[in-house]
Amino acid sequence: MALLQISEPGLSTAPHQHRLAVGIDLGTTNSLVASVRNGISVVLNDEHGRAMLPSVVRYFADGEVAVGEAAQALQSEDPANTIVSVKRFMGRGLSDVGDISQLPYRFAQEESQSSGHGMVQLRTVAGIKSPVEISAEILKVLRTRAEASLGGELVGAVITVPAYFDDAQRQATKDAAKLAGLNVLRLLNEPTAAAIAYGLDNASEGVYAVYDLGGGTFDISILRLSRGVFEVLAANGDSALGGDDFDQRIYCWILEKNQLSALNPKDTRLLLTMARTAKEQLTEHDEAHITAVLSGGEGIDNVLTQNEFESMSKNLIQRTLQPLKRALRDAKLSINDVKGVVMVGGATRMPQVQQAVGEFFGQTPLTNLDPDKVVALGAAIQANLLAGNQSRDDWLLLDVIPLSLGLETMGGLVEKIIPRNSTIPTARAQEFTTYKDGQTAMSLHVVQGERELVADCRSLAKFELRGIPPMVAGAARIRVTFQVDADGLLSVMAREMGSGIEAAIEVKPSYGLSDAEITRMLQDSTQHAKDDMQARALREQETEASQLIDAVQHALMQDGELLEVSQRAHIESQMNALRDALQSLDHMVIKRAIVALNESTVSFAQSRMDKSVKRALAGKNISELEIK
């Protein structure tokens, strides 16, 4: 069979030449790096034989930085300068962090010059650090490990992100990689990476669900694997749910059990660490002993049973099942259509998670590949391909975007340009026009979400198209093109078709986005579908009514002399009735008033047309009007 060789531009390899590329799983709790060696994807270990690098960074006053095991070992000693689970802060603002009193950090907010919103900042003894800088320290260690293991400089890396990461979080991840000296070949959704590893290692075909519960995020993807084509049918999830939340439940249980309150940062970090250890012990044991001595000398000695843990975490697991149902519905599939369920992420080791997923799908989940490593292994296969190295098989990856992208139109309505679950990379265009006579500029507001009104969606960016030739309202043709690249990042271009003037923006949204917002958007779109349609219908009628009133007023000013007094009075009466109808919240009331005003102006419109024809024919003779 002939091999289909796919590579990034400029990265195709000469025969027998192998370019060094890696896949990196930048995780909330642990991070890994993998590469393809002798045709097999393998995780690269450090000098001590450890595959996983704890995603923990500690800063010292002298500028030294400790990453991984060294930082994790003493995290309770200096919690304010030891950052854990930094992935949860990526692309987030201070207002999105939640109750900061539960965290042992000193926060600062740096304002973005462009948007007025900034990514959360942390004050350390080494100065203010952003999540991008902290993540870059983790990536630097992985890059150094890979280059030492592979014996050369890397040409690039595929870095995985949760499928439900929005544009801000994806951009922050790319920025961190750049700061770490890595050339990003692709940002790859974590569930898709896992499917690649399973699909190629097991020669699987059919529909598969990838259940990815990591340290800080949850994703579900439905994929169809067929003859080397990996097609993502639907993606869903919760970007504010992960293993950390299970730790938090145990932490709160400890506080309640021992009647503790107002802990200092050291004690908070100590108990959170003990909670995580207990969670891991309960994966293989029926009970876990939690013993600690707080800074005030108070001792803690508790026993947490598996049954107690299952009870306190039951609603967290239930939160993962709703996205499963939505993803299947979006893919237009039933549970019976799913051939296998792939478990990804260390949190899926919890027995209650595997039991709930097994019961939901009616089959035992697949765990023959290490759930901690499978994402990095799949990313390495994709990196090897993009670097231009030969692959074992011909295969094609078709991923999707998780939320719809569109523009604000008159009345605060959303016009969706690219619907959610569209295969990427993709580009789509739509034509718009001006609202007022003589309009020479247009403001374009790019939004993301599933609701009908802009107020209920996420604002991504705003830019202006200036220099539009002045024309009557509706005459200009503005073509707006949305382009989403393979990383899921968006760029938008607007072009006035007559003059050729254009404006473009690479959407780099504000980093101040809410953790729960994306999940809430999809939930709200379902729960409020009827209300949204009514609201949209109301806005559309309001916009049409305003345009009609403006048009009739303009006509009366220009040609009011064509009307008899009674005719003009009737039209003005209908205009006033339409203005009164605009105070109503019933779109049908407004619609009836629009119809009435239109009917009252029919003869007036005919008179104006006759006047225009007479003006056009004035001074002309028959010969000049003949068609030649």
- Specify the pLDDT at position 95: 66
Residues 345 and 468 both lie in one domain: no
Residues 496 and 510 both lie in one domain: yes
Residues 332 and 416 both lie in one domain: no
Residues 182 and 36 both lie in one domain: yes
Question: C-alpha 417: how far from its chain's center?
Answer: 16
In a domain, 141, yes or no: yes
In a domain, 289, yes or no: no
The last residue of a domain, from among 400, 418, 452: 400
- Specify the pLDDT at position 143: 95
Q: Grade residue 116 by pLDDT with cuts at 50, 70 and 90.
A: very low
- Specify the pLDDT at position 56: 95
Under a CB-based contact definition with an 8 Å cutoff, are residues 436 and 468 in contact? no
The angle that helices 131-150 and 167-179 make with each other, rounded to 10 degrees, is 50
Residues 554 and 426 both lie in one domain: no
Q: Is the pLDDT of residue 8 over 80?
A: no
- Helix%, strand%, coil% for the chain, nearest 5: 40, 25, 35
The structure tokens listed for 245 are 């939340």
The structure tokens listed for 208 are 């598969």
In percent, the amount of the chain with pLDDT more than 90 equals: 28
- Specify the pLDDT at position 13: 47
Give start and end residues of each alpha helix (H) in 48-189: 69-73, 131-150, 167-179
Determine phi and psi for 468, rounding to 5 degrees.
-70, 130
In a domain, 253, yes or no: no
Residues 483 and 376 both lie in one domain: no
In a domain, 606, yes or no: yes
| Cα angle 12, 27, 330; round to 5 | 80
Under a CB-based contact definition with an 8 Å cutoff, are residues 311 and 305 in contact? no
The last residue of a domain, from among 400, 433, 468: 400
DSSP 155: S
The CATH number linked to 136 is: 3.30.420.40
Q: Grade residue 183 by pLDDT with cuts at 50, 70 and 90.
A: very high
- Region of residue 371 (left: phi > 0; alpha: psi -120 to 50; beta: else): alpha
The CA distance from 383 to 24, in Å, is 9
User: Residue 420's closest CA among 532, 327, 520?
Assistant: 327
Selected residue with higher pLDDT from 603 and 150: 150
Q: Is the pLDDT of residue 120 over 60?
A: yes
Q: Which of 8-12, 268-272, 427-431, 559-563 has the lowest mean pLDDT?
A: 8-12
Mean of pLDDT over the chain:
82
In a domain, 290, yes or no: no
User: Residue 157's closest CA among 140, 171, 177?
Assistant: 177
Residues 412 and 555 both lie in one domain: no
The last residue of a domain, from among 526, 554, 581: 526
Give start and end residues of each alpha helix (H) in 436-564: 517-527, 529-559
- Specify the pLDDT at position 618: 65
What are the C-alpha distances in Å from 148 to residues 17, 45, 154?
A: 19, 10, 10
Q: Grade residue 390 by pLDDT with cuts at 50, 70 and 90.
A: low
In a domain, 298, yes or no: no
Under a CB-based contact definition with an 8 Å cutoff, are residues 174 and 187 in contact? yes
Domain count, the chain: 3
- Region of residue 68 (left: phi > 0; alpha: psi -120 to 50; beta: else): left
Residues 410 and 395 both lie in one domain: no
Task: Quick: pLDDT tens for 427-455.
Answer: 888 888 887 888 888 888 888 777 778 77
SS (H, E, C) 566-592: HHHHHHHHHHHHHHHHCCCCCHHHHHH
The CA distance from 412 to 400, in Å, is 27
Q: Is the pLDDT of residue 622 over 60?
A: no
DSSP 89: G
The mean per-residue pLDDT over the stretch 598-626 comes to: 73
Residues 452 and 544 both lie in one domain: no
Selected residue with higher pLDDT from 156 and 506: 156
Residues 612 and 538 both lie in one domain: yes
The structure tokens listed for 406 are 């569109």
Q: Grade residue 513 by pLDDT with cuts at 50, 70 and 90.
A: very low
Q: Grade residue 517 by pLDDT with cuts at 50, 70 and 90.
A: very low
Q: Is the pLDDT of residue 106 over 90?
A: no
Q: Grade residue 626 by pLDDT with cuts at 50, 70 and 90.
A: low
Q: Which of 9-13, 389-393, 422-426 has the lowest mean pLDDT?
A: 9-13
The CA distance from 542 to 409, in Å, is 13
Task: Quick: pLDDT tens for 15-74.
Answer: 446 789 999 999 999 999 999 988 889 999 999 899 999 999 999 888 888 999 989 888
In a domain, 62, yes or no: yes
Which pTM does this prediction carry? 0.66
The mean per-residue pLDDT over the stretch 603-609 comes to: 83
Task: Quick: pLDDT tens for 188-245.
Answer: 988 889 888 877 555 567 899 999 998 888 889 898 887 667 788 888 888 778 898 9
The mean per-residue pLDDT over the stretch 76-105 comes to: 81
The CA distance from 113 to 146, in Å, is 36
Task: Quick: pLDDT tens for 271-300.
Answer: 998 999 999 999 989 999 999 888 878 888
**Polymer length in residues for the chain:** 628
Cα four-point dihedral sign 146, 150, 153, 159? negative
What is the domain range of residue 475? 405-526
Residue 390, CA atoms < 13 Å, CB-side half-sphere? 9
In a domain, 602, yes or no: yes
The CATH number linked to 409 is: 2.60.34.10
The structure tokens listed for 44 are 């690269």
The structure tokens listed for 451 are 């609701």
Residues 123 and 173 both lie in one domain: yes
- Specify the pLDDT at position 514: 41
- Specify the pLDDT at position 452: 78
Residues with a known catalytic role? 25, 87, 190, 212
Give the 3-state secondary structure of residue 447: strand
Q: Is the pLDDT of residue 1 over 90?
A: no
Q: Which residue type does 467 have?
A: G
- Specify the pLDDT at position 281: 93
Beta strands 82-84 and 56-59 are: antiparallel
Q: Which residue has the tokens 């539009």?
A: 468
Query: Order of strands across the sheet with 340-344?
Result: 340-344, 206-213, 218-226, 229-238, 396-400, 423-424
The angle that helices 587-600 and 565-581 make with each other, rounded to 10 degrees, is 170
Residues 606 and 476 both lie in one domain: no
- Specify the pLDDT at position 126: 87
Selected residue with higher pLDDT from 558 and 532: 558
Q: Is the pLDDT of residue 583 over 90?
A: no
